[in-house]
Amino acid sequence: MSSGVQTVEIGATGIRVTPVAMGCWPISGVTTLGVTDSDAVSTLEAAVDSGVNFFDTAYCYGYEGESERLIGRALGDRRDQVVIATKGGVHWENRVQQRDARPETLKRQCEESLRRLGTDHVDLYYIHAPDPAVPVSESAGGLKELLSAGKIRSVGVSNFSTAQMEEFLAVCPIAASQPHYNMLQREIEDEHLPWCRQHGVSVMAYWVLLKGLLAGHLSRDHVFESPDGRAKYPMFQGAEYQRNLDFVDSLRPIASDAELTVSQLVIAWTLAQPGISVALCGGRRPEQIRESAVAMGADVGQEMLDRVDQAIAARGDAASRPPI
């Protein structure tokens, strides 16, 4: 781990991670163009070499678990240097995602994830999303059994409401929550973040770069070709997309003054928000995760943060998305 990077604790587990984690959905190749196994392995290795020690994946990242398999292949001999989070409760059927958070399914998927990853334990295991067909308390009971068995070191929830977290917490301790959060989608500030602070739950934010929209690299005439899944989201469509790129352009002088790229400024701002523990940053090429890793040591200062907040206020409400 690079010197000067302050790690954060996951809940009260004693497990410490870098504030930037590599999100490993892009290397699965499901909705990302041009991903090769070689590029994925190089990107994972570059993350560690850049000081990142935290890797976030899921049972359903890849139709056949490609993301977990690639992590096992790339980082197997560096297992003692990294913290691995994965998720269960969502799987593919005929290339359509399905939820199944029954305890027996979660335990079976966890065992398969361990085999793919080539490890005997996962450091953080999430329920990927609540299953409307299964009581939250039953899913929590399944993860509590995995925790007691030593298969997982800590438990998290993803895409849960505060009411669902309350129900889960009555059965099993929660170390982390993973909601979507970024400059333009800040709904969790109202209830979710305060609840997590009150209960000592770490918040691992995904969509920090809004699927690349806030990274500063997309052109106004970019064509989202299949299988790129971004075209289905309102923030990448028509006038909304152009307004979002206007917002990104408003960040460029601030980033320049801070001697950062736009994406580094976005990540640094996110990590400066009260209650945010970790920013999940996807990458499918080594240079992408290297760029993100720089933000871990960035000190943007209050003046720069205030300028960003002014730009956000000028942008106004943006199109959001429902949970998974």
| Kind and range of the H or E run holding 93 | strand 90-93
**Blockwise average pLDDT, block size 10, the chain, 324 residues:** 74 98 94 86 98 98 96 97 98 96 98 98 98 98 98 98 98 98 96 98 97 95 88 92 97 98 98 98 95 95 97 87 60
Query: Which residue from 317, 219, 205, 225 is spatially nearest to 267, judged by alpha carbons?
Result: 205
The one catalytic residue among 59, 61, 125, 181: 61
Task: Report pLDDT for 269.
Answer: 98
Q: Which residues on neighbouring strands pair with residue 178, listed in sequence order?
A: 158
Task: Report pLDDT for 321.
Answer: 65
Task: Report pLDDT for 3.
Answer: 43
304 is written with which tokens? Answer: 């720069």
> pTM for this structure?
0.95
Domain boundaries, the chain: 8-216+273-298
Kindly report the CATH number that applies to the domain delimited by 8-216+273-298: 3.20.20.100
61 is catalytic: yes
CA pair distance 269, 284, nearest whole angstrom: 23
177 is written with which tokens? Answer: 């929550």
CA pair distance 320, 238, nearest whole angstrom: 15
CA pair distance 238, 299, nearest whole angstrom: 35
Residue 198 backbone phi and psi in degrees, to 5: -65, -35
Task: Report pLDDT for 207.
Answer: 96
Task: Report pLDDT for 323.
Answer: 55
